[in-house]
Structure 1
Amino acid sequence: MTAIQTTYARTAPAGFAGPGTDWWYVRAYPGHADLMDDATRVLLPWLRAQAAGAGAPAWYFTRYFDMTGHHLRLRLACAPEVADRLHERVPEILGMLHELRGGPAERLVPGSVPTGLPSVRRVRPCLYAPELAKYGGPRGAALAEELFTAACEWYVDNDLAGLAPLYDRAAVAVAFMGALVPAALGVGQVPAFWAAHRRQWGLQLRMSVPRPDDLRALLSRASAGIRAAGDARARLRRDVGERVDAVAAALDRAGREGNPVERPVLLLHYLHMEMNRWGFVPAEECLLGILVANQFPPK
């Protein structure tokens, strides 16, 4: 076993990725929060191509920031020797990061994205540890990985990062969220879900917009911008209905498999990961949820 194979210890649930499967996982730092969208537009097609070439059963990404900087977490389930080969191609990823050019990006919630973090462009190999408790154990994590893989295919096919967050992408998010919750839980549980959603992410919104008058003004501005954007779904190659059906089907399957996480809680996790990939931080996700719950009923 090589050093890289030792580094990429097997963590994938056998029910999905299969015995003997490693997870190749790197963190790609574009150097600034405003370059994250552009980074997805070059790195995700590359990652999907590697997954197709390796016959990978799963691949996906998430956005993240911590004290090391803003970065994309790229993950691909593969045989150990494929992980070694991909590790040798890390300089390609770094080269793509260094070619990124972009300007300031306006946020749905100003001040919701941390600034002053390290701005070095780099790639860092890491170990993958599935969030077993969050998704309901190994089978639940495998189901989430399957759902995330399909979500990333949808994201790339639609070039979602090419839609302006203000307000075209926000309009797509509102349409998705408004359709998803009643489809997944039934109309009767919708108010309780959005109340739980506000409890989950409301603190982040309040930290960014502490004054009630400012929050009301921000909600009005976002509502007007989303309405002015019109039907942004018409610009998608693949409709949001696909994602609604996929998430609802995953919740149904989780129930059949005896997943211990309650359905509304699992939906809260699934929705958050969708919004994360779309580029909305928790404060912005909360804002969108408030709009959906109060101003944009499902069509």
Structure 2
Amino acid sequence: MPSVGDTKTVFGRTYVYSNPNQALGPGTWLLSDGEGSLSGEQQTEHKVYGQAVVDSSSIAIHKGMLVYINEAGNAVAASAASLESSRVVGVAIDPANVGQIVQFTQNTAFEFFNAISITDEASSTLDVGQPYYLSSDNPGKWTKNPTRDDASIEVLQCGTAVNEYYMAIDIQPLALKAEVESAARIAGDAALSARIDVLEADPTTATAVANSIAAVNASIASETTARTDADALLMPKTGGTFSGAISGPEPVADSDLATKKFVIDEIAAIPAVDFNLDYGEYA
């Protein structure tokens, strides 16, 4: 059983397997334009918003690719890699090579039977309900995951997948990054403020906050008492009077302190001198 989007060539003609509504029965093979899209009368009619010659600097335009118009008035595969190339004017209705005329459309439900060749994800079907953006990696292509952390990349939403094979084309205005960032921050602040208001009014939250504050205050009081008691037992560097006995290690170095008892014991250990001996006489 073929899958929707599969193609085959018979007697020089290319066909694509299609089934727009699976609830009505199995699909069928329909004549294709060679790129996996319906052709001729089988193809959905789209209003032509404009047309231009494909510029020599552009890649070949595939059906469904996003295009912009350069300063020369020619069509080029669009890219989010720069401000100029992000000014999308529409979606290519039919394929066109360099030097050929490409027609483009906007604001319509566009068939994506060739999604595998015009999306970064290279999937045969679209992700239903997912917004799609202009790719910064592959000119003309769509992507579900635009690059947002590079200051040189423009983020431009161009449509939303309404089902697996159709995209609702809705090219958003290209805003300055500063404006986008400002709007995002304002919206974020408003959301945070609203959430804080809810939390402040919530009795459970209020009780938890009050208990936390009480616990912190008790901890501070305990620490203050401990520090005060410890300070009372310290001997200041500027001097003071000890109220109790002092002991310490036996002095060894010249700078070590010595107690009175240590000094007395050292003196007592000196051998006594017999002053009754005559000069030259030994005890």
Q: TM-score, normalization: structure 2?
A: 0.20
Larger Rg: 2
Which protein has the bigger helix share? 1
Q: Which one has more relative contact order, counting CA pairs under 8 Å at least 6 apart?
A: 1
Which protein has the bigger strand share? 2
Q: TM-score, normalization: structure 1?
A: 0.20
